[in-house]
Amino acid sequence: MKNTFSRRDFVRSGALVGAALAALKDVFGAAAGWPAGEEGSDIRLGVASYTFRNFSRAQMIGFLKQLNALKLNAKDVKDHLPMEPQEEEAALADYAAAGIKLHAAGTIYFPKDEDADIRSKFEYCKRAGIGVIVAGDPAPETLPRIEKFVKEYNIRFAIHNHGPEDKLWHSPLDVLKAVKGMDPRIGCCIDVGHTVRAGTDVVQAIREVGARLFNVHMKDLANFEAKDSQVAVGEGLMPVKRIFEALGAIKYKGFVDLEYEIHADDPMPGVIESIAYMRGVLAGMG
Protein backbone atom coordinates (compact mmCIF):
# COMPACT_ATOMS: atom_id res chain seq x y z
CA MET A 1 0.00 0.00 0.00
CA LYS A 2 1.50 3.33 -0.99
CA ASN A 3 1.95 6.00 1.64
CA THR A 4 -0.26 8.59 -0.04
CA PHE A 5 -0.20 11.03 2.84
CA SER A 6 3.58 11.20 3.03
CA ARG A 7 3.76 11.92 -0.69
CA ARG A 8 1.08 14.59 -0.34
CA ASP A 9 2.96 16.11 2.59
CA PHE A 10 6.09 16.15 0.43
CA VAL A 11 4.57 18.38 -2.22
CA ARG A 12 2.59 20.51 0.20
CA SER A 13 5.38 22.76 1.45
CA GLY A 14 6.13 25.85 -0.66
CA ALA A 15 9.76 25.06 -1.41
CA LEU A 16 9.05 21.48 -2.38
CA VAL A 17 6.11 22.44 -4.57
CA GLY A 18 8.54 24.61 -6.48
CA ALA A 19 10.94 21.71 -6.78
CA ALA A 20 8.15 19.42 -7.94
CA LEU A 21 7.10 21.90 -10.61
CA ALA A 22 10.68 22.28 -11.78
CA ALA A 23 10.98 18.52 -12.06
CA LEU A 24 7.64 18.40 -13.84
CA LYS A 25 8.93 20.91 -16.38
CA ASP A 26 12.01 18.78 -16.96
CA VAL A 27 9.87 15.69 -17.53
CA PHE A 28 7.33 17.47 -19.68
CA GLY A 29 9.68 19.71 -21.68
CA ALA A 30 9.63 23.46 -21.98
CA ALA A 31 7.46 23.91 -25.06
CA ALA A 32 4.29 25.94 -24.86
CA GLY A 33 1.10 24.02 -24.18
CA TRP A 34 1.67 20.35 -23.60
CA PRO A 35 5.38 19.61 -23.72
CA ALA A 36 7.71 18.33 -26.38
CA GLY A 37 6.58 14.85 -27.33
CA GLU A 38 2.91 15.52 -26.60
CA GLU A 39 2.19 16.75 -30.09
CA GLY A 40 3.75 13.60 -31.51
CA SER A 41 1.68 11.32 -29.30
CA ASP A 42 -1.66 9.81 -30.21
CA ILE A 43 -2.80 10.51 -26.63
CA ARG A 44 -3.42 14.18 -25.87
CA LEU A 45 -3.78 15.27 -22.25
CA GLY A 46 -5.90 18.10 -20.93
CA VAL A 47 -7.44 19.37 -17.70
CA ALA A 48 -11.12 19.67 -16.78
CA SER A 49 -11.71 23.09 -15.24
CA TYR A 50 -13.98 21.48 -12.64
CA THR A 51 -10.73 20.39 -10.98
CA PHE A 52 -10.29 24.05 -9.97
CA ARG A 53 -13.96 24.73 -9.22
CA ASN A 54 -13.15 26.59 -5.98
CA PHE A 55 -10.79 28.97 -7.75
CA SER A 56 -11.34 31.92 -10.06
CA ARG A 57 -10.43 31.93 -13.72
CA ALA A 58 -7.34 34.04 -13.01
CA GLN A 59 -6.18 31.63 -10.32
CA MET A 60 -6.81 28.64 -12.58
CA ILE A 61 -4.85 30.22 -15.41
CA GLY A 62 -1.96 30.64 -12.99
CA PHE A 63 -2.15 26.96 -12.02
CA LEU A 64 -2.29 25.83 -15.65
CA LYS A 65 0.77 27.93 -16.48
CA GLN A 66 2.65 26.44 -13.54
CA LEU A 67 1.76 23.00 -14.83
CA ASN A 68 2.55 23.91 -18.45
CA ALA A 69 -0.87 22.37 -19.16
CA LEU A 70 -2.64 24.63 -21.61
CA LYS A 71 -5.42 22.46 -23.04
CA LEU A 72 -8.70 22.97 -21.16
CA ASN A 73 -12.12 21.36 -20.92
CA ALA A 74 -13.99 24.38 -19.57
CA LYS A 75 -17.12 24.45 -17.44
CA ASP A 76 -19.53 27.19 -16.42
CA VAL A 77 -18.37 27.07 -12.82
CA LYS A 78 -17.08 30.09 -10.91
CA ASP A 79 -16.09 32.38 -13.82
CA HIS A 80 -14.31 29.72 -15.89
CA LEU A 81 -16.54 29.95 -18.98
CA PRO A 82 -19.77 31.83 -18.28
CA MET A 83 -22.82 31.25 -20.46
CA GLU A 84 -23.61 34.97 -20.70
CA PRO A 85 -22.09 36.15 -24.03
CA GLN A 86 -20.21 39.24 -22.81
CA GLU A 87 -18.78 37.42 -19.80
CA GLU A 88 -17.85 34.50 -22.03
CA GLU A 89 -16.06 36.88 -24.41
CA ALA A 90 -13.98 38.22 -21.52
CA ALA A 91 -13.06 34.69 -20.45
CA LEU A 92 -12.05 33.74 -23.98
CA ALA A 93 -9.83 36.82 -24.20
CA ASP A 94 -8.09 35.84 -20.96
CA TYR A 95 -7.47 32.30 -22.21
CA ALA A 96 -6.15 33.53 -25.55
CA ALA A 97 -3.76 35.93 -23.81
CA ALA A 98 -2.49 33.07 -21.64
CA GLY A 99 -2.06 30.69 -24.59
CA ILE A 100 -4.73 28.33 -23.25
CA LYS A 101 -6.79 26.46 -25.84
CA LEU A 102 -10.31 25.21 -25.14
CA HIS A 103 -11.19 21.89 -26.77
CA ALA A 104 -14.42 20.95 -24.95
CA ALA A 105 -17.04 22.43 -22.66
CA GLY A 106 -18.86 20.69 -19.88
CA THR A 107 -20.42 19.14 -18.19
CA ILE A 108 -23.38 21.02 -19.75
CA TYR A 109 -26.90 19.95 -18.82
CA PHE A 110 -29.89 19.66 -21.15
CA PRO A 111 -32.98 19.41 -18.94
CA LYS A 112 -35.43 20.78 -21.51
CA ASP A 113 -36.64 19.25 -24.76
CA GLU A 114 -36.90 22.73 -26.27
CA ASP A 115 -35.17 24.29 -29.26
CA ALA A 116 -34.37 27.58 -27.51
CA ASP A 117 -32.63 25.96 -24.55
CA ILE A 118 -30.64 23.55 -26.71
CA ARG A 119 -29.68 26.23 -29.23
CA SER A 120 -28.39 28.55 -26.49
CA LYS A 121 -25.88 25.90 -25.43
CA PHE A 122 -24.71 25.17 -28.95
CA GLU A 123 -24.30 28.91 -29.51
CA TYR A 124 -22.28 29.11 -26.28
CA CYS A 125 -19.85 26.51 -27.63
CA LYS A 126 -19.79 27.97 -31.12
CA ARG A 127 -18.74 31.38 -29.72
CA ALA A 128 -15.87 29.66 -27.92
CA GLY A 129 -14.78 27.70 -30.97
CA ILE A 130 -15.31 24.48 -29.04
CA GLY A 131 -15.84 21.27 -31.01
CA VAL A 132 -17.11 18.95 -28.26
CA ILE A 133 -20.03 19.38 -25.88
CA VAL A 134 -19.75 17.15 -22.82
CA ALA A 135 -23.41 16.63 -21.90
CA GLY A 136 -24.62 15.58 -18.48
CA ASP A 137 -28.20 14.41 -18.50
CA PRO A 138 -30.04 14.53 -21.83
CA ALA A 139 -33.10 12.31 -21.69
CA PRO A 140 -33.23 9.70 -24.46
CA GLU A 141 -36.40 11.25 -25.89
CA THR A 142 -34.51 14.57 -26.28
CA LEU A 143 -31.78 13.10 -28.47
CA PRO A 144 -33.61 13.40 -31.83
CA ARG A 145 -34.04 17.14 -31.21
CA ILE A 146 -30.40 17.48 -30.13
CA GLU A 147 -29.35 15.59 -33.25
CA LYS A 148 -30.75 18.41 -35.41
CA PHE A 149 -28.44 20.89 -33.69
CA VAL A 150 -25.45 18.57 -33.97
CA LYS A 151 -25.99 18.56 -37.72
CA GLU A 152 -26.57 22.30 -37.92
CA TYR A 153 -23.57 23.34 -35.82
CA ASN A 154 -21.21 20.45 -36.63
CA ILE A 155 -20.33 20.14 -32.94
CA ARG A 156 -19.84 16.69 -31.46
CA PHE A 157 -22.12 15.76 -28.57
CA ALA A 158 -20.51 13.54 -25.91
CA ILE A 159 -22.89 12.14 -23.28
CA HIS A 160 -21.13 11.79 -19.93
CA ASN A 161 -21.91 8.70 -17.85
CA HIS A 162 -22.21 9.27 -14.09
CA GLY A 163 -22.13 5.76 -12.65
CA PRO A 164 -24.63 3.86 -10.48
CA GLU A 165 -26.32 7.02 -9.20
CA ASP A 166 -27.15 8.23 -12.71
CA LYS A 167 -30.79 7.43 -13.50
CA LEU A 168 -30.11 7.49 -17.25
CA TRP A 169 -26.48 6.90 -18.11
CA HIS A 170 -24.74 4.52 -15.71
CA SER A 171 -22.14 3.35 -18.22
CA PRO A 172 -20.89 4.42 -21.65
CA LEU A 173 -22.46 1.22 -22.95
CA ASP A 174 -25.88 2.64 -22.01
CA VAL A 175 -25.05 5.70 -24.10
CA LEU A 176 -23.89 3.56 -26.99
CA LYS A 177 -27.19 1.66 -27.09
CA ALA A 178 -29.20 4.89 -27.11
CA VAL A 179 -27.26 6.61 -29.91
CA LYS A 180 -26.88 3.63 -32.22
CA GLY A 181 -28.10 4.67 -35.65
CA MET A 182 -27.93 8.40 -34.89
CA ASP A 183 -25.56 10.93 -36.42
CA PRO A 184 -21.95 9.76 -35.84
CA ARG A 185 -21.19 13.04 -34.08
CA ILE A 186 -23.34 11.92 -31.12
CA GLY A 187 -21.41 9.70 -28.74
CA CYS A 188 -19.68 9.41 -25.38
CA CYS A 189 -17.53 11.13 -22.84
CA ILE A 190 -16.22 8.17 -20.83
CA ASP A 191 -15.62 9.03 -17.20
CA VAL A 192 -13.33 6.18 -16.20
CA GLY A 193 -14.14 6.41 -12.49
CA HIS A 194 -17.90 6.31 -12.93
CA THR A 195 -17.53 3.56 -15.52
CA VAL A 196 -15.73 1.15 -13.21
CA ARG A 197 -18.16 1.96 -10.38
CA ALA A 198 -21.00 0.91 -12.71
CA GLY A 199 -19.34 -2.50 -12.97
CA THR A 200 -18.24 -1.95 -16.56
CA ASP A 201 -14.80 -2.95 -17.83
CA VAL A 202 -13.49 0.47 -18.84
CA VAL A 203 -10.93 -0.90 -21.30
CA GLN A 204 -13.55 -2.99 -23.09
CA ALA A 205 -15.96 -0.04 -23.06
CA ILE A 206 -13.41 2.13 -24.86
CA ARG A 207 -13.00 -0.54 -27.53
CA GLU A 208 -16.77 -0.95 -27.94
CA VAL A 209 -17.52 2.77 -28.13
CA GLY A 210 -14.73 3.23 -30.67
CA ALA A 211 -15.35 6.06 -33.10
CA ARG A 212 -18.16 7.49 -30.95
CA LEU A 213 -15.72 8.35 -28.14
CA PHE A 214 -15.14 12.11 -28.11
CA ASN A 215 -13.78 12.85 -24.63
CA VAL A 216 -12.32 11.00 -21.62
CA HIS A 217 -12.41 12.14 -17.99
CA MET A 218 -9.50 10.59 -16.12
CA LYS A 219 -9.43 9.91 -12.40
CA ASP A 220 -8.33 7.09 -10.10
CA LEU A 221 -10.01 5.16 -7.29
CA ALA A 222 -8.65 3.08 -4.45
CA ASN A 223 -11.91 1.08 -4.42
CA PHE A 224 -13.97 0.54 -7.56
CA GLU A 225 -17.17 0.36 -5.52
CA ALA A 226 -16.64 3.58 -3.55
CA LYS A 227 -17.11 7.02 -5.10
CA ASP A 228 -15.34 8.67 -2.19
CA SER A 229 -12.18 6.60 -2.65
CA GLN A 230 -10.72 8.89 -5.31
CA VAL A 231 -6.95 9.39 -5.16
CA ALA A 232 -4.31 10.94 -7.39
CA VAL A 233 -3.93 9.12 -10.71
CA GLY A 234 -1.42 6.33 -10.18
CA GLU A 235 -2.26 5.88 -6.49
CA GLY A 236 -5.30 3.65 -7.06
CA LEU A 237 -6.48 0.69 -9.11
CA MET A 238 -7.27 2.36 -12.43
CA PRO A 239 -5.54 0.49 -15.33
CA VAL A 240 -4.12 3.67 -16.83
CA LYS A 241 -1.66 2.00 -19.20
CA ARG A 242 -4.33 -0.38 -20.52
CA ILE A 243 -6.69 2.58 -20.98
CA PHE A 244 -4.07 4.42 -23.04
CA GLU A 245 -3.41 1.26 -25.05
CA ALA A 246 -7.12 0.88 -25.79
CA LEU A 247 -7.33 4.53 -26.87
CA GLY A 248 -4.42 3.93 -29.20
CA ALA A 249 -6.08 0.80 -30.59
CA ILE A 250 -9.23 2.72 -31.58
CA LYS A 251 -7.12 5.60 -32.95
CA TYR A 252 -8.70 8.03 -30.51
CA LYS A 253 -8.12 11.66 -31.53
CA GLY A 254 -9.72 13.45 -28.59
CA PHE A 255 -8.34 14.49 -25.21
CA VAL A 256 -7.88 12.67 -21.94
CA ASP A 257 -8.82 15.32 -19.39
CA LEU A 258 -7.73 15.05 -15.78
CA GLU A 259 -10.78 15.58 -13.55
CA TYR A 260 -9.41 15.67 -10.02
CA GLU A 261 -12.46 16.03 -7.79
CA ILE A 262 -10.94 15.72 -4.30
CA HIS A 263 -9.13 18.29 -2.13
CA ALA A 264 -11.08 21.05 -3.88
CA ASP A 265 -9.43 23.76 -1.76
CA ASP A 266 -5.91 22.42 -2.38
CA PRO A 267 -5.86 20.38 -5.60
CA MET A 268 -2.39 21.16 -6.92
CA PRO A 269 -0.40 18.42 -5.12
CA GLY A 270 -2.72 15.74 -6.51
CA VAL A 271 -2.89 17.38 -9.92
CA ILE A 272 0.91 17.51 -10.15
CA GLU A 273 1.16 13.86 -9.18
CA SER A 274 -1.61 12.80 -11.57
CA ILE A 275 -0.22 14.61 -14.60
CA ALA A 276 3.32 13.42 -13.91
CA TYR A 277 2.09 9.84 -13.61
CA MET A 278 0.15 9.95 -16.89
CA ARG A 279 3.10 11.50 -18.72
CA GLY A 280 5.35 8.84 -17.24
CA VAL A 281 3.05 6.07 -18.48
CA LEU A 282 2.97 7.59 -21.96
CA ALA A 283 6.75 7.97 -21.99
CA GLY A 284 7.10 4.33 -20.96
CA MET A 285 4.85 3.32 -23.83
CA GLY A 286 7.17 5.09 -26.24
Is 192 within 8 Å of 216 (Cβ atoms)? yes
Average pLDDT of the chain? Answer: 89
Q: How confident is the model at residue 278 (pLDDT cuts 50, 70, 90)?
A: very high
Q: How far apart are CA 242 and CA 218, in angstroms?
A: 13
Which domains are present in the chain?
A: 33-284 (3.20.20.150)
Tell me the pLDDT tens digit for each residue of 222-235.
999 999 999 999 99
Residue 15 phi, psi dihedral angles, 5° rounding: -65, -40
> What per-residue confidence (pLDDT) applies to 34?
37
Q: How confident is the model at residue 41 (pLDDT cuts 50, 70, 90)?
A: low
Q: How far apart are CA 116 and CA 128, in angstroms?
A: 19
Handedness of CA 272, 274, 280, 286 (dihedral sign): negative
Q: Which residues contact 232 (CB under 8 A, 6 or more apart)?
A: 4, 220, 260, 269, 270, 273, 274, 277
Question: Which of 48-57, 91-100, 159-168 bottoms out in mean pLDDT, i.e. has the lowest?
Answer: 159-168
3-state secondary structure the chain: CCCHHHHHHHHHCHHHHHHHHHHHHHHHCCCCCCCCCCCCCCCEEEEEHHHHCCCCHHHHHHHHHHHCCCEEEECCCCCCCCCCHHHHHHHHHHHHHHCCEEEEEEEECCCCCCHHHHHHHHHHHHHCCCCEEEECCCCHHHHHHHHHHHHHHCCEEEEECCHHHCCCCCCHHHHHHHHCCCCCCEEEEEEHHHHHHCCCCHHHHHHHHHHHEEEEEECEECCCCCHHHEECCCCCCCCHHHHHHHHHHCCCCCEEEECCCCCCCCCHHHHHHHHHHHHHHHHHCC
Question: Which of 10-14, 197-201, 263-267 bottoms out in mean pLDDT, i.e. has the lowest?
Answer: 10-14
pLDDT at 22 over 50: no
What does the CA dihedral 7, 13, 15, 21 come to, rounded to 10 degrees?
A: 50
